[in-house]
Amino acid sequence: MLSLSIATRFLRKSPVQSILIAAGIAVGIGVQVFLGSLIISLQSSLVQQTIGHSPQVVVAAASDGRPVAYTAALRRVLTAQPQITTVVPQRSFSAIYRSGGVSAPLQVVGGDLARLDTIYDLSGRLSAGSARLGPGAILIGKDLAARYGLAPGSRFPLVLPDGTTTDLTVAGVFDFGSTAANAGTAFVGSSLAASVLRYGPDQYSSIGAQLHSVFASKTVAASLAAAPALHGLKVSEWQAQNADLLSALKSQSASSYMIQFFVLVAVALGIASTLAISAVQKTRQVGILKAMGMRDGETGRIFLWQALLLGLAGAAAGVAVGLGLIGVFTLVGRHNAALFPIHPQVSFTLLSFLVGVLVAAASSLISARRTSRLDPIEVIQNA
């Protein structure tokens, strides 16, 4: 293709100009890739911290305090949902730790350790003791343990909802990474909770589920609510209960899109102005080519090709710059616990690359149009 080979020659013969434009695109796309990956990772980190270790969809009785019968039909409906990764029936109640004049309110969750682990990862987040939920055993949080000087093996008197006190033993201490959870939550075995709540073998206070994609919770909840097996039950999901977090995430996305948009505008203006200058510089050459019979469209394509080539090279370098920045951030993050991990976003990076190339191509339109319209006589006469 003649216009492509002329475009390549023009670029090669102005190496500094070409490198500067490509570098401009590279910086723009590099910022895009880094910023996009940063925001996406930040959001997923926030979401993970907030709801990663809790049920994202919860099925409970329509009226508070009533048990849910975890029937085979209900189990089938839940496991048939492709989005649901794990289902954890649990028995929860409020209780008070009271010892020697001090007391602390607790939300106690009862369930099978293996099941509970699929959501709460108790075994993996134990900081002391062992993960056991046998009769008389309780797992408590790090902050509660520290506040009252409790350790594995300590006596743990618990005042139950009916006012009676039962003596339990601390089996292990977990760390959920959140003071509220570490101070206010405790776990006991399923049968202990059943006897506290006076529930039968199939009765639970709620059935929690986790999903592949946390943002699918609305659809999953709606679909569950419509199932006949859940008639009379209440389905809730995390998004409805975390409106503040969601609106924060949305504002963050919006500001990120704004920044990315203006970065792209700056890149486009940079390319457009440099190409316009280049088109003026090459007016004579274009006039000569047209005098020799090159068609208007073909001469216009010279500048389109130049922009495309610069866009390809610049966007590719930009992806490298972006990934490099992510690497540096990750390296720094390793020594700084306050930073969250950034994961390169493959599809976002590809999109940024494509957008970079398209923006570059679009920026050439002014030059291409100008070139197409040039009459060779203007050049020949003014030689």
Min separation Cβ 6 and other proteins, Å: 8
Measured distance CA(155)–CA(105) in Å, rounded: 17
Which is nearer to other proteins, 291 or 331 (by Cβ)?
Answer: 291
Min separation Cβ 2 and other proteins, Å: 5
Which is nearer to other proteins, 206 or 274 (by Cβ)?
Answer: 274
Min separation Cβ 380 and other proteins, Å: 6
Which is nearer to other proteins, 134 or 297 (by Cβ)?
Answer: 297
- How many residues touch other proteins (CB under 8 A)? 22
Answer yes or no: are the C-beta atoms of 106 and 184 closer than 8 Å. Answer: yes
Min separation Cβ 366 and other proteins, Å: 20
- The contact mask relative to other proteins for 292-331 (x = CB under 8 A, - = no) is xxxxx-x---------------------------------
Which is nearer to other proteins, 347 or 381 (by Cβ)?
Answer: 381
Phi, psi (deg, nearest 5) at residue 219: -65, -45
- State both tokens at 330: 């990750």
Answer yes or no: are the C-beta atoms of 183 and 104 closer than 8 Å. Answer: yes
Measured between alpha carbons, how far is residue 75 from residues 46, 111, 298 in Å? 30, 16, 67
Min separation Cβ 295 and other proteins, Å: 6
Min separation Cβ 23 and other proteins, Å: 22
Residues ≥6 apart with Cβ < 8 Å to 196: 91, 93, 95, 108, 110, 160, 161, 166
- The contact mask relative to other proteins for 347-376 (x = CB under 8 A, - = no) is ----------------------------xx
Min separation Cβ 382 and other proteins, Å: 10
Task: Give me the sign of the Cα torsion angle 242, 224, 110, 47.
Answer: negative
**Rule CB under 8 A: which of 5-64 touch other proteins?**
9-10, 13
Which is nearer to other proteins, 8 or 123 (by Cβ)?
Answer: 8
Min separation Cβ 272 and other proteins, Å: 22
**Rule CB under 8 A: which of 277-296 touch other proteins?**
284-285, 288-296
Amino acid at 340: F
Measured between alpha carbons, how far is residue 332 from residues 39, 43, 295, 327 in Å? 17, 19, 55, 9
- Give the number of other Cβ atoms within 10 Å of residue 96's Cβ: 14
Of 1, 92, 70, whose CA–CA distance to 301 is shortest? 1
Establish if 2 lies at the interface with other proteins (CB under 8 A): yes
Of 316, 292, 290, 270, whose CA–CA distance to 370 is shortest? 290
Min separation Cβ 379 and other proteins, Å: 8
Give 79-129 as a DSSP string.
HH-TTEEEEEEEEEEEEEEEETTEEEEEEEEE--HHHHHHHH-TGGGEEEE
Which is nearer to other proteins, 183 or 379 (by Cβ)?
Answer: 379
Give the one residue of 164, 336, 347, 381 binding other proteins; rule: CB under 8 A.
381
Measured distance CA(179)–CA(182) in Å, rounded: 5
Min separation Cβ 9 and other proteins, Å: 5
Which is nearer to other proteins, 218 or 373 (by Cβ)?
Answer: 373
Which is nearer to other proteins, 2 or 328 (by Cβ)?
Answer: 2
Please provide the distance, in angstroms rounded to a whole number, between the alpha carbons at the two ends of the chain: 28
Which is nearer to other proteins, 246 or 294 (by Cβ)?
Answer: 294
Measured distance CA(318)–CA(341) in Å, rounded: 21
- The contact mask relative to other proteins for 238-277 (x = CB under 8 A, - = no) is ----------------------------------------
Which is nearer to other proteins, 117 or 298 (by Cβ)?
Answer: 298
Q: Which residues bind other proteins (CB under 8 A)?
A: 2, 9-10, 13, 284-285, 288-296, 298, 375-377, 380-381, 383
